[in-house]
Amino acid sequence: MNVKSKNLWLVYALITTLTWGVWGAFSEIPEKNGFPGSLTYVVWSFTMLLPAGIVLRNVGWKIEHDPRSVLMGLAIGFLGAGGQLALFIGALNQGPAYLVFPIISMSPVVTVILSLVLLKEKASRRGWVGIILAIIAIPLLSYSDPAGSSSHGIMWLVYAILVFFAWGFQAYLMKLANNTMSTEGIFFYMTLTGLLLAPLALWFTNFSVPVSTGLKGPYLAFFIQMLNSVGALFIVYAFRYGKAIIVSPLTNAVFPVITVVLSLIIYQTFPHKVIVAGMLLAVVSIFLMAVEGETPGSETGDVKS
């Protein structure tokens, strides 16, 4: 695919933020109706098959299978899927969400540092202001009221830190892999690894507790997680055509804003003032980073897939 527009990365990034934003607003419903998070992971892993099949069909089912590509693809997949599994069965299961989410939401810091040092990416002064504002906004948007919450030991912190590094490193590898692999090939390996970890999620499921099998359980989870999978596909495209130091903080700062706005409309709950502050910072960062592609030297060049 020839890059015709230097802002193509922004289109893909905004699609990701929209799908993930809607996903975030509805993601808790199945679990609240008796469908555990471990089984939601299993459902998510199968939803990856549909977008993977569509994009692979469009490229004639061509997948890179040289040792470097296989290793890179599996690393990206296991970092993403493994991080998600660790989040549900470890961090959130043993610790308070109001501490877990701010920690893992800072994963773009890892991506930005690695991309600056190893990929030699650069941004304009305006772009850097947007990056910094987005990074500040992310933990604010992850704020939840600590009242009535309690932690159990420190293992939740270990899990949270593991997810933090896993997702930050995964985003960097996505950008790196896009230099030598097709986006479709990368997503194939992400899908494969997600499915490979599904039996582990089943093993961690407590089936001694009744599991919802109705419309608000696995069926609703399927449609909600489909949004998650579509967003995952488009963020790989965003990394292909955009800078990791821009794409990572932008997507992580914007999609929670959409989630908060939808939650306000649906559940009639006004967000905490800390979250409102994060939303304002995120909105400013959107405009600053959206125009970053128009600054000299900001394009990633033509890439073919």
The pLDDT value recorded for residue 176 is 94
> How many angstroms from the chain centroid is the CA of residue 81?
10
Q: Kindly list the domain boundaries of the chain, sorted by start residue.
A: 12-294
Positive or negative CA dihedral for 87, 91, 94, 96? negative
Which CA distances in Å does 142 have to 24, 57, 151, 263, 289?
A: 11, 37, 17, 14, 21
Tokens of 58: 């469009």
Buried b (16+ CB within 10 A) or exposed e, 177-200: bbeebbbbbbbbbbbbbbbebbeb
pLDDT of residue 296: 42
Rounded-to-integer distance, Cα 136 and Cα 133, Å? 5
DSSP at 66: S
Residue 189's nearest CA partner among 13, 38, 69, 108 is 69
Instruction: Return the pLDDT at 273.
Output: 84
Alpha helix segments (H runs only) across the chain: 8-26, 29-32, 37-47, 49-58, 67-86, 92-94, 97-104, 108-118, 125-141, 155-177, 183-196, 198-204, 220-241, 244-267, 273-290
Residues contacting 262, CB < 8 A, separation 6+: 21, 22, 25
Mean pLDDT of residues grouped by 10 in the chain (305 residues)?
64 94 86 87 95 94 93 95 83 64 80 90 83 84 62 72 91 93 95 95 88 89 94 95 90 84 79 81 77 48 37
| pLDDT of the residue at 263 | 80
Q: Which amino acid is at 272?
A: H
Produce one character per residue of 266-300: b if its CB has 16 or more CB atoms within 10 Å, e if not: eeeeebeeebebbbebbebbbebbbbbbeeeebbb
Give the CA diameter of the chain.
60
| pLDDT at 298 (0 to 100) | 43
Please report the pLDDT score of residue 134 as a whole number. Answer: 84
